[in-house]
Structure 1
Amino acid sequence: MAFASLFLFSCERDNEHDVAEPMAVNQDDNLIGYDPTTCNLVQSFGEGTLPRTADVIEEDGAVMIVKAQKRGNNGKYLQETQALLLDAHDPATDLVNRMDANMLAMSGLLTVGDGSGKQANRKGGRLILDFSPVSTVTMKTMVFTDIAAEDKGSKVELYSRNGQLIESKEIPTGEKNSTVIVSFNNIPGVAKAIVTFGDERSTVGSGAVARLQLCVEGQGRYDDARYQDVHTLWLEYTGQQPANVTVKSKQDGQRGRGNVIFEAKGMKPGTMFKIAATEATALGEALQIETQRREKQLIPVNADPTASLKKQYGNFRVVEARCTDYPLKLEE
């Protein structure tokens, strides 16, 4: 009887081990690196068998056009092709280790193909993610794999619909087939993202995108009132001519010039810029925006639940304002 019990216990342990499966994708805090304010999670990159090529990806309410380009020996990029989606759990993919694939609940890996339709390109290239089908998005985080030492100089760039470079971040390197999570801290108005694998002066570079966390324009939860001070403000200059722009922090009743917290010379129409409070910089009761043409606009940023921020102040459009983790609703 003792032998039989030991045998049965051993079988039960084996069966438990056999049924272990990769972590299921779920939109909650159990997903490592997940931002709970995410509106649209792109992690399987659509439906279909892997590997496969793709030029349009639709998942969880997000839609994007994707293109891939290899980098030639002269540093110039070759003709655009479809991007390649590989299976994160297939050892032949060789872009992520099994532990990371399971722990981060990966499914598809978006990369630049080598032309075979089954392997990633290793000689440098880039992915172009075009969000124009949904207008723009607020970018939260991106997850990358296989950005090793030889891929140093890999980067991701975010562009507005006017073609302005809003943000550029170098992707940190790690061990081969390891994973890195890059946070963008809620950058709104992103119309296009370009991911470059390897230094652009090099003929070496590979990697993949494993996850996108974002909010499609018009989606997500909004705060109805300013119960707290505004801590982050994204603005767009909508004037017709380039302008010298100065932003000052003003206190209630202050008669002085105010503290200058942002300056830009020759700002082009369509330019987006960010104003954010820090430990060293307070936004005060209001922001005063001035141009060399004697234009002055006052934007209240203090806590005031009885008043809404407007979408437009003269030649400056409020793209997004936040006093909590969520954007404020703006008055037409």
Structure 2
Amino acid sequence: MKTISTKIIAASLASISLFACNAEEEQELVEPMKASQEADLVGYDPTTCNLVQNFGSGELPRAVDIIEEDGAVMIVKAQRRGHNGKYLEETEGLLLDPSTPSTNLINPFDAQMLGVYGLLTVGDASGEAVNEQGGRLILDFSPVGSVTMKTMVLTDIDEDEAGSKVELFSKTGQRLDEQLIPAKGDKAAVILSFDNVPGVAKAVVTFGADRRRAGSGAVARLQLCVEGVGRRDEARFNNVQSLWLEYTGDKPANVAVRAKEGESSNAIFTAKGMKPGTMFKLSASANGSLGEALEISTNHKEQDIIPTNANPNASLKAQYGSFRVVEARCSDYPLQLEE
């Protein structure tokens, strides 16, 4: 979580003071914060390449099936849950105005502090209000290839909606990550952070536990990097700390990865019957390093060495045998790969 800047604290105190002085006067709902800089947003990740916050332009409420903002493009579908807990046919998503009382998905203070301008949700049968009976949003990033997911801001996950979750999928349908959305309470907002998951082709946001005909909520902000976008480090001034690989062989394989340090080596990853197109992550140990190199071998008698020590004079390759480097990091930014 990012620390709150002094500007935000000052703005908050000023807002509270103003409310106290005019408590007896009729008050209008607080307008969302007009952030002069993205860094003023609570929970903003400065390595974000594409910020989706307005969800396009136009009057609210409105149905949406495509969202384009700040270089990010996604196809949006929504599904309500039926009486038997199964999902109904796909429909368009619904965008609601957070400042309208009938929206009932976020409190005014959170809307102001988080700079919420639109709420993307699952609509009810009327298509004009939030669905309260459980459902899910499907965000398809195929128009831009894939994205690196950083952060989502979600709202209105109450205690009886525990089990709400976000799942991230690759182009091959592999689930790359799954996180439960904390049940912060009625109209409360929550910042859900992902550890730079690359290769995300689809995100599924589920409101309410599966098979329960209950659950509402909304997506208020997306922070991500579209495939190929953003600053990239050109040299390894530090040891590689994290590495995402994709198996690109043409048949299933047993895979083993060993971290080599001098004369010693340590097994850090094994998988049996890995299917082509499978992505996996290798993370540094407590000492902050993956060692001098990684040795990857398969039962097909393949063996490759990926250097992971600090070496500003040599870049990592994009492909090592049957393994593609999806992303490598030795800092907050991915390394530039040698094609």
TM-score by length of 2: 0.90
**Contact 1:93/1:118 (CA < 8 Å) preserved in 2?**
no
Radius of gyration: which is bigger?
A: 1
| Structure 1 counterpart of 2:239, from 229, 233, 236 | 229
Name the counterpart of 1:135. Answer: 145
Whole-angstrom distance in 2 between the partners of 1:326 and 1:235: 16
Whole-angstrom distance in 1 between the partners of 2:292 and 2:96: 51
Whole-angstrom distance in 2 between the partners of 1:185 and 1:329: 19
Structure 1 moving runs of 4+ over 4 Å: none
Q: Percent identity?
A: 63
Superposed counterparts of 1:178-217, under 5 Å: 178-217=188-227
Name the counterpart of 1:267. Answer: 274
Name the counterpart of 2:338. Answer: 331
Are 1:238 and 2:248 counterparts? yes
**Contact 1:69/1:79 (CA < 8 Å) preserved in 2?**
yes
Superposed counterparts of 1:224-303, under 5 Å: 224-252=234-262, 254=263, 256=264, 258-279=265-286, 282-303=289-310
Whole-angstrom distance in 2 between the partners of 1:170 and 1:26: 32
Name the counterpart of 1:4. Answer: none
Aligned residues: 316
Superposed counterparts of 1:170-181, under 5 Å: 170-181=180-191
The aligned amino acid for 1:123 is Q
Name the counterpart of 1:309. Answer: 316
The aligned amino acid for 1:117 is G
**Contact 1:88/1:96 (CA < 8 Å) preserved in 2?**
yes
**Contact 1:137/1:217 (CA < 8 Å) preserved in 2?**
yes
Are 1:72 and 2:82 counterparts? yes
| Structure 2 counterpart of 1:152, from 162, 166, 183 | 162
The aligned amino acid for 1:240 is D
Where structure 1 has 5 or more consecutive residues not aligned to the other structure, the ranges are: 1-12
Whole-angstrom distance in 1 between the partners of 2:133 and 2:33: 32
Name whichever of 226-235 and 67-76 sits farther off.
67-76
The aligned amino acid for 2:147 is V
**Contact 2:241/2:288 (CA < 8 Å) preserved in 1?**
no
Per-residue deviation, 1:239: 0.4
Secondary structure of 1:105 counterpart = coil
**Contact 2:254/2:299 (CA < 8 Å) preserved in 1?**
yes
Where structure 2 has 5 or more consecutive residues not aligned to the other structure, the ranges are: 1-20
Whole-angstrom distance in 1 between the partners of 2:157 and 2:250: 42
TM-score by length of 1: 0.92
Deviations 1:121-150 (A, max 9, x none): 000100000000000000000000001111
Whole-angstrom distance in 2 between the partners of 1:220 and 1:280: 28
The aligned amino acid for 1:75 is G
Cα 1:26–1:182, aligned 2, differ >3 Å: closer, same or farther? Answer: farther
Cα 1:21–1:79, aligned 2, differ >3 Å: closer, same or farther? Answer: closer
Name whichever of 310-319 and 68-77 sits farther off.
68-77
Superposed counterparts of 1:55-66, under 5 Å: 55-66=65-76
Per-residue deviation, 1:27: 4.6
Secondary structure of 1:89 counterpart = coil
